[in-house]
Structure 1
Amino acid sequence: MTFLLPFLIIFIIILGIVRILRSGRTKKVLQGSRLRWMLGGYVAILLICTGVSPLLPDEEVIYKIINNSQDIDKESTELYEAANEGNIDKIDNKYINKRWSFGYEEQELTIATENDELISTAVMVERKTENDGKIEAIHYKTRSGVNNMEITELEKPIRIELNENTLTIKNPEKGKLKFSQFQQAFTVNQFTGEKPFRHATMFYGGTSILYLKVPKDLKLVDHSNINYQYIE
């Protein structure tokens, strides 16, 4: 019923104007044709804005809606705590962004980054209980969003490559996102009570973790300057 309020207000205004024009007080209230044209034009603008505004999209339907940003904060905290305590396997699979598995029989592994760049994800390393000749990597990512729109599916995963005895960790490929937002015209807002320029952009980045599982006795040589964390 809220969307009918502007129409009701406009109807009352028009009804009042018509009654004034038909009454004997017309000359006192409206002196001259210029004032009548100004008033009529203003009413026409109100009618056009009121009629068009309900047709404008108020949300982008291709995005999932984030109803509560606190849920994202909770997910991020739960993911980090589970990884830090070695309970990452208990985390819901929906947070798994990508998996890798590399066969590796060497005694040492060098960890590096592309062009010595800073990595925008936490890196955690767990040593297995056996030397199984396999390096496993899992990228976990909680939801992210802009305002009330979830953009998790638009984000690309972190990249890793194994070349000879070097495991190179790379940031996700960069992407560009453009957003447009519609809001009611001033002529409508003055009746609905919505304040102009009240909209602010809120970004929720979520938590990103690269979890490495390496053979028990594999020696790691750090050439990355990554502050990765060993999981006991």
Structure 2
Amino acid sequence: MYSSRQLAYAPTPYSYVPTSSTINLDEEVKLYATNAERDLYETLAEVYSIILTLDSIEKAYLKDSVTESEYTETCSRLLKQYKSNLADENVLREFGDLENFKREWNLECPRATERIRVGIPATVEQPFHKPVQPGTEAAAASLVVAATENFITLLDAIKIGLVEKDTLHPLLVEIIQAVNKVTDKEFESKGKIIQWLITLNQMRAADKLDEAQAREFQFDMEQAYYGFKATL
């Protein structure tokens, strides 16, 4: 007969009991093994921070805690940073998509989610105030001319086959900003501008509209242009 201390678990041939000689509690645990992995995790952490900050600035704007100019500048910068970080193929592959990323990291950011989906600040999407009236008729006329030129530039781009996302999206942003400076009235197909902004925002920079999309886009923008002119 012999006595032994009873183990708290049933041992197996593969049982392993760590000892102080195998674990150093003072040693820093690294989440990465290479510099590339470190850069990847740091970028994902930056994306996480951008989403949280964007949600906060959206809430602040709705509560009038920030001015429209402060909101527009900050929101625009955050959206650009978000897109720039996800332009890296390795980061995008690890990120997946926004909904998966939110689930994985338990993020509840509905306002940031909507702003990322639209891709432009709320002040650009739809003015919440009546545009500042120009001091002179000449100044008012210059705003109308600028908006008209933006429409023409976009339509010309479509006609010559420039239908890539990275060409059309900036032109659409300029259009909606220009028309909002002229009028806060809804006009025919104005909503189509926002819809196409959202559609293009979901595409990658090098993606382009197919033939059917390009024709529909051209038609919608022509109708928006005529609707805008009818308000003048």
- TM-score normalised by length of structure 2: 0.28
The structure in which a higher percent of residues are helix is 2
Relative contact order higher in (CA < 8 Å, ≥ 6 apart): 1
> Which structure's residues are more often strand, by fraction?
1
TM-score under structure 1 length normalisation:
0.28
